[in-house]
């Protein structure tokens, strides 16, 4: 596991700039500090979209499926194969992009340019990226580009399935089974805001999908057991927490169990009765 945060969160080890990066190999019971590269310009990089967001200190971090590579999405994305002792720029990846790691093949990473729609793939553990033709996503992705660190990133990779990707867009939910070369819109009647994966239903190979979304005039927590073709609401009017849902995560070990981060009421979880 890897994490990125700021000192007020109180977990991890502070770097030279006061921010934190850390990794864990015991399911989060303990954390080891990661060295953070200094900005190439010698100073911080403030987001042009949000002055409260520092693109350097708030940079997301991700890990390859095999745990061999850490990738830090600073304005110029960098990778490390020695647990942060050294960082190297990712060749071929334009600035300000945020890669996503494949959840099965440790060599595969993906990235999309929200401005141009260009699709990039790495087959060497994030060391280099190359543009790959992609079709099926909306022609305009600018509105789907996150401009705040707490917004869920729209591109997600499916656990246990190489090349299997989902993209949560304002234009709908899109799925690719070939590493992003082809996307198809999945019309399940739910306007999805956040998406995650849980243990597959009995007899199925693909994980269950969990989402925060709106169906008709009802906003809530939903689950799909058929890859997004249909959705069932799994919370009720007594468990809405002000509808201020901040994050959602499915449990990979227990079918139907889902964790939801609320705004001020902590993290709650539910599972089928």
Q: What is the average per-residue pLDDT within 192-220?
A: 96
Q: What is the average per-residue pLDDT within 9-18?
A: 47
Residue 7 has pLDDT above 70, yes or no: no
pLDDT at position 63: 97
Residue 106 has pLDDT above 50, yes or no: yes
As a whole number of Å, the CA-based R_g of the chain is 18
Whats the size of the chain, residue-wise? 273
pLDDT at position 150: 85
Alpha-carbon distance of 100 to 61, in angstroms, equals: 10
Alpha-carbon distance of 227 to 98, in angstroms, equals: 25
Tell me which residue of 243, 246, 252, 250 sits closest to 267, measured CA to CA.
Answer: 246
Total-model pTM: 0.92
Express as a percent the part of the chain with pLDDT over 90. 78
Q: What is the full DSSP assignment across the chain?
A: -EEEE-GGG--S-B-TTS-EEEE-SSTTSS-EE---PPPTTSS--B-SS-TT-BTTTT--EEE-TTS--EEE-SSS-EEESSTTSS-EEPBTPPTT---EE-SS-TT-EEEE-TTT--EEEESSTTSB-EE---BSS-S--GGGS--STTSPPSEEE-TT-TT-EEEEETTEEEEESSTTSB-EEE--S-EEEEEEEEPPPTT-SSPEEEEEEEETTEEEEEEESSTTSS-EE---TTS-GGG-EEEEEE-SSSTT-EEEEESSS-EEEE---
pLDDT digits (tens, 9 = 90+) for 151-203: 999 999 999 999 999 999 999 999 999 999 999 999 999 999 999 999 999 99
Express as a percent the part of the chain with pLDDT over 70. 93
Per the structure block, which two tokens stand in for 229?
């073709």
pLDDT at position 10: 44
Alpha-carbon distance of 179 to 107, in angstroms, equals: 12
Residue 22 has pLDDT above 80, yes or no: yes
Q: What is the average per-residue pLDDT within 231-247?
A: 94
Per the structure block, which two tokens stand in for 234?
């799994």
pLDDT at position 258: 98
pLDDT digits (tens, 9 = 90+) for 44-88: 688 878 888 888 888 899 999 999 999 999 999 999 999 999 999
Alpha-carbon distance of 169 to 128, in angstroms, equals: 27
- Please, which residues bridge with residue 236 across strands? none
């Amino acid at each position: 596991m890897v994490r990125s945060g700021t000192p007020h969160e109180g977990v991890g080890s502070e770097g030279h700039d006061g921010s934190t990066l850390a990794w864990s190999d015991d399911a989060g019971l303990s954390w080891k500090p990661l060295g953070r590269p200094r900005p190439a310009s010698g100073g911080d990089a403030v987001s042009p979209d949000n002055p409260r967001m520092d693109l350097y200190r708030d940079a997301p971090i991700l890990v390859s499926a095999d745990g061999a590579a850490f990738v830090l999405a600073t304005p110029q994305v960098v990778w490390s194969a020695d647990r942060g002792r050294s960082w190297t720029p990712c060749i071929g990846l334009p600035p300000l992009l945020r890669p996503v790691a494949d959840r099965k093949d440790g060599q595969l990473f993906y990235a999309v340019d929200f401005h141009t729609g260009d699709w990039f793939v790495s087959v060497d553990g994030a060391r280099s990226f190359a543009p790959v033709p992609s079709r099926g996503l909306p022609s305009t992705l600018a509105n789907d580009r996150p401009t705040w660190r707490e917004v869920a990133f729209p591109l997600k990779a499916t656990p246990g399935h190489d090349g299997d990707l989902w993209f949560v867009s304002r234009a709908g939910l899109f799925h690719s089974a070939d590493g992003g070369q082809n996307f198809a819109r999945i019309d399940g009647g739910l306007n999805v805001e956040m998406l995650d994966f849980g243990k597959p239903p009995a007899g199925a190979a693909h994980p269950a999908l969990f989402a925060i979304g709106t169906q008709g005039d009802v906003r809530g927590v939903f689950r799909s057991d058929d890859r997004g073709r249909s959705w069932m609401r799994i919370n009720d009017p007594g468990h809405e927490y002000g509808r201020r849902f901040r994050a959602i995560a499915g449990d990979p070990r227990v079918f139907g169990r889902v964790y939801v981060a609320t705004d001020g009421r902590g993290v709650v979880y539910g599972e089928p009765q």
